[in-house]
Amino acid sequence: MVDFSDEDFPADPYPGSRPDGSFVHIGKSGHHLVNGRTLPDGTGLDEFLSAHGAAPLAGRLPVLAYGSNANPSKISWLRDRLGLRGPVVVIGAECHGVSAVWSAGVRARDGQRPAVLAGLPGVVEHHAVWLTTPDQRAVLDECEGRGERYRLSWVHAPVRLEGHGALSSVLAYTARPEAVGADVPVHLNRSPLVVDGHFVRCSEVGQADAVLLVGVAGGEDGLVVSEVSGEP
């Protein structure tokens, strides 16, 4: 038995919808997690992972999903197109001082405006964190265009994971400096969009209105990060 299927959470419009709280996704469906650690039938998350031949929680690293990567249909797309394997553990996350904001660029394949991460002191947002195996994180590298549009970074900001405690830093795909600025081509540009002097938070403006926004490419994202070279 499953708690939800991909059809319950369509990917379009970007960033798609996602289940409330934490969940584990496998085979175009998923299970909600109670307090981030237990399936509804009482099975512990590590027990579930072991039954599927997957790495335990202790063998995984946290990667912030602030755009479409917490959408179940997108996770299945990663399985179908990029070879993502195994259960995907997605934990609800309370993030302090960082925000998903709309990019100045648009996606080449459909013209939708993607999200980028930006520093916004005092803001608290609820996103999600994948607890990734090394091969799952490599799939995210490919999907996110690591080295082209985004870089993998440790973002130094407080994040509290449901049932898993607090982190002082979390891995995330943040805009590369080379992808930021007014002269970057629109399909590669991952500058925060600035409208009337402010970033536009994704939580406040939906995709239908975001694609119509007129602004300028921000010169920096305001994040405090340490870029990862090679494997984290």
The residue-averaged pLDDT of 66-92 equals 98
Q: Can you name the CATH fold of 4-227?
A: Hypothetical upf0131 protein ytfp (3.10.490)
Cis before 10 (ω within 30): no
For residue 7, pLDDT over 90 is answered with: yes
For residue 1, pLDDT over 90 is answered with: no
Angle between helices 72-82 and 134-144 (to 10 degrees): 90
d(CA 228, CA 52) in angstroms, rounded, equals 30
Q: Model pTM greater than 0.85?
A: yes
Residues 104-119: tens digit of each pLDDT: 999 998 999 999 999 9
Residues 178-216: tens digit of each pLDDT: 999 999 999 999 999 999 999 999 999 999 999 999 999
Looking at residue 2, its pLDDT comes to 76
d(CA 91, CA 129) in angstroms, rounded, equals 5
d(CA 64, CA 99) in angstroms, rounded, equals 11
Residues 121-179: tens digit of each pLDDT: 999 999 999 999 999 999 999 999 999 999 999 999 999 999 999 999 999 999 999 99
d(CA 107, CA 130) in angstroms, rounded, equals 23
The 10 Å Cβ neighbour count of residue 167 is 19
Cβ contacts of residue 42 below 8 Å, gap of 6+?
none
Looking at residue 212, its pLDDT comes to 97
Looking at residue 40, its pLDDT comes to 94
Whether residue 21 contacts residue 94, with contact meaning beta carbons closer than 8 Å, is answered with no
Lookup: tokens for 191: 């500058």
Task: Tell me the torsion sign for CA atoms 38, 41, 46, 48.
Answer: negative
From the list 65, 91, 226, the residue with the least C-alpha distance to 151 is 226
The residue-averaged pLDDT of 215-228 equals 96
From the list 173, 168, 162, 137, the residue with the least C-alpha distance to 65 is 173
Residues 12-67: tens digit of each pLDDT: 999 999 999 999 999 999 999 999 999 999 999 999 999 999 999 999 999 999 99
Whether residue 151 contacts residue 227, with contact meaning beta carbons closer than 8 Å, is answered with yes
Looking at 1-10, 17-26, 219-228, which range is the least confident one?
Answer: 1-10
